Amino acid sequence: MNSKRKKIIADFTQNPVTAQAYANIALIKYWGKRSVELNLPAVGSISLTLDALKTTTTLQFDESLESDTLHLDHRNVAGKPLERITQFLDTAVQTGDRPKAKIVSSNSFPTGAGLASSASGFAALAVAVNEAMNLHLTKEELSILARQGSGSAARSVYGGFAEMKCGTSIDDDQDDFAIQLEDESYWDLRLLIAVTSTDKKETGSTEGMVRTAKSSPFYTGWVESQQADLDEMRRAIKKKNFAKVGELTEHSCFKMHGLAMSGRPPLLYWNGATTEMIHTIWNLRTKGTAAYITMDAGPQVKVLCQPGNSELVKQAMLSVKGVKQIIEAKPGPGAAIVTDNQIKVKNS
């Protein structure tokens, strides 16, 4: 054991540590990995953190435990999700030879249905392990750590608009972290989320990305055209040009889904209500309401609009058959430790 590891383990607290983080919606999507092993993205991405999609995680290291335990949304969880967390904690502490942890986590939204629960989940866990193990990570290091759990988690370290940078090396991840573009108070926007299914998705994002990269004839075009989308989106956010942000958001979403559909076998994350919703929103736009669609690796439809239009857009979304729930989100804050109901923002 090297001296750094000894110090990390010696410094840990056995007290429970609670962190909160919020999921984010990618306006310019990430799809594809340049290394699956290190979880390195093939492209950069830009996101908005969402206040309505919150994960709260309590982490407690305990030397008397024989293995890590996970309690997620009031249920004990074993198997793959727990293995992923054990691996994440080993990576964070840089050794498997560490006290085991009890993790109790809950989401304010359906888990694993394309609402980015892994983004808020791993961002919260990164902040919690940083505190419990006294790692003293900077925001960028926290983002790198969160990314090792889930690519999109790197962006949830920050509130507001974040950009995930994409490095070039396939065996080094020091350039693969997110930065904040603007904080959550910068621009009052709304993202309305239509939940059309609460089932777990059949094809996870990593499997989907690997399949697409291997078999889609459009994959090279996707990677090559990403930089221009990122540059344009950054400029549109700076100018608060809503129509441009919306148009680019929709473009990136449909480019990603078109790419996934062009894999072999094809990958279609939508259901009937998803398609119906697309037409409903486009129809609304034809009649003059600025509202723009985005979707991730699941059948939920997310609609970006301005606060003054949110009620109208929500009513139109509720008219679509198959919609179970509409969640209304605003720009949300970054991941933080929760202490006695007070949120202490880490490393700010």
53 lines the binding site for ligand PMV (CB under 6 A): no
What is the number of other CB atoms lying within 10 angstroms of the CB of residue 333?
A: 19
Cβ-based neighbours of 200, under 8 Å, separated by 6 or more:
112, 113
249 lines the binding site for ligand PMV (CB under 6 A): no
User: Residue 99 gets which letter from DSSP?
Assistant: -
Closer CB to ligand PMV, residue 12 or residue 222? 222
30 lines the binding site for ligand PMV (CB under 6 A): yes
151 lines the binding site for ligand PMV (CB under 6 A): yes
User: Residue 184 gets which letter from DSSP?
Assistant: T
- φ, ψ for residue 267 (rounded to 5)? -120, 115
Applying CB under 6 A, which of residues 105, 117, 152, 196 lies at the interface with ligand PMV? 152
26 lines the binding site for ligand PMV (CB under 6 A): yes
The SS3 assignment for 87 reads helix
Minimum CB separation of residue 70 from ligand PMV in Å reads 18
34 lines the binding site for ligand PMV (CB under 6 A): no
49 lines the binding site for ligand PMV (CB under 6 A): no
Minimal CA–CA distance to 296: which of 224, 191, 218?
191
205 lines the binding site for ligand PMV (CB under 6 A): yes
123 lines the binding site for ligand PMV (CB under 6 A): no
Determine the interface stretch with ligand PMV among 23-31, 51-59, 325-333, 340-348 (rule: CB under 6 A). 23-31
Minimum CB separation of residue 193 from ligand PMV in Å reads 13
Determine the interface stretch with ligand PMV among 8-16, 24-32, 84-92, 318-326 (rule: CB under 6 A). 24-32
Q: Is the peptide bond prior to 265 cis by the omega test (within 30 degrees of 0)?
A: yes
Whole-angstrom distance, CA of residue 346 vs CA of residue 184: 16
Closer CB to ligand PMV, residue 11 or residue 224? 224
For the stretch 253-291, what's the b/e string if a residue is b when 16 or more beta carbons lie within 10 angstroms of its beta carbon?
bebbbebbebbeeebebbbebbebbbebbeebbeeebbb
Which residues in this chain contact ligand PMV in the complex, by CB under 6 A?
26, 29-31, 45, 118-119, 150-152, 205, 296-297
